[in-house]
Amino acid sequence: MRAILMPFRVEQLGTVLLKPGSEAMPLFQSGRVLISTLPEFMQSMPSGRLVDVAQPLLDDPDVVMFLSSDAVISAAGGRYALASWLTSPHQRHIGTGCQNNGLDHSHGQTILNIGKSAVRLCYQCDNRLREQESLPALEETARRNAAEWLLYRVQTGFQMPEGHHVTLPEVTLWASMKNIADKMPDSLARRVLKLPALPTPHGTMKESDIRHEPAVATELAEKAAQVVELAIDPETPESFMKRPKRRRWTNEKYTRWVKQQPCLCCGRQADDPHHLIGYGLGGMATKTHDLFVIPLCRAHHDELHADVGAFEEKYGTQPELLLRFLDRVLAIGVIATGKKILGDKNG
């Protein structure tokens, strides 16, 4: 992904004046260019061209630091699995050459382990650098290698299509499944939980003015680890009645989780768990079961309710979207077998 950070000013509503400069001009001449508002984590970055990346999360230093930590690398398979990925001919986007910035390189390649991570070097650079105690430039490359590999593991682990941009909620879900969500730094955990960032202290503070803020990573791990447990009861009293009174299945835990997933139409953070409408489901002024929900952002949720037919012609029918979503839900264990009844409101 290529991107340019540049200042611009709005002349009037609907009109924007851009001054990209010689560095960015080739991007405007080569095809379409997406202009978007800056994410929060990019606000402090200087103007200029960003490093080309396959995953936008690689521009987030908090995410890179978490994904390159020892605990996360170990949970994903360890350094040997990372080394195998670095040297795989199928991972063309990570390159095949030496990752050292030296001018002279020899043929062949090998792996230099740095902490729990690794970098790919030619034989000449490996012989020259292997005995050095401090390699700050390569340590940064090793962290980035680990972070990119982890995002690849998340993408393939959830059977996402090639080119899918992994989101922070998806990273959190993967970390929860690996029992390492509590290892997230608090700054990252607060963003996932949509909590305000802690204020940055300025100057010298008195000890009496320091207020303890409890860590939120443990809370995040508990929230992310929640699943809906499924039990089968083939002999409910209603099953023996000729005209049983129907009960609406509700589960707030599941709908909260659905709300945190990417929108099925655009991939942005969902705002609502949309309950299917029509198709003989529900009743007069009654929603369908909480199981029959799909994640939609506010714009696409409004679009669906404005014209169901036009929406389904454009994105697929609601049952099709639901089946696709439920397939992923079951595949990643969000709905799992257990001792609790599926309709337990407290579970």
What are the pLDDT digits (tens) for 143-187?
Answer: 999 999 999 888 888 878 777 888 888 888 888 778 788 788 888
Cα separation, 43 vs 39, in Å, equals 7
pLDDT at 46: 63
pLDDT at 278 over 60: yes
| Among candidate residues 60, 56, 66, 58, the one with its CA nearest the CA of residue 217 | 66
Cα separation, 347 vs 342, in Å, equals 8
pLDDT digits (tens, 9 = 90+) for 83-104: 888 887 655 556 668 888 766 7
Do the Cβ atoms of 113 and 119 come closer than 8 Å? no
Q: What are phi and psi of 113, to 5 degrees?
A: -75, 130
pLDDT at 344: 45
Average pLDDT over residues 271-281: 84
pLDDT at 4 over 60: no
| Mean of pLDDT over the chain | 75
pLDDT at 282: 59
Integer CA distances (angstroms), 173 to 37, 203, 264, in order = 26, 38, 17
pLDDT digits (tens, 9 = 90+) for 189-236: 778 777 776 666 555 655 555 444 455 556 555 555 555 666 667 777
Handedness of CA 319, 321, 323, 326 (dihedral sign): negative
The gap from C-alpha 217 to its chain's centroid, in whole angstroms, comes to 16
pLDDT at 12 over 50: no
pLDDT at 1 over 70: no
pLDDT at 312 over 80: yes
| Among candidate residues 215, 182, 165, 189, the one with its CA nearest the CA of residue 62 | 189
Give the predicted TM-score (pTM) of the model: 0.50
pLDDT at 43 over 70: no
- Which range in 16-25, 84-93, 205-214, 257-266 is most confidently predicted, on average pLDDT? 257-266
**3-state class of 241 per DSSP?**
coil
**3-state class of 209 per DSSP?**
helix
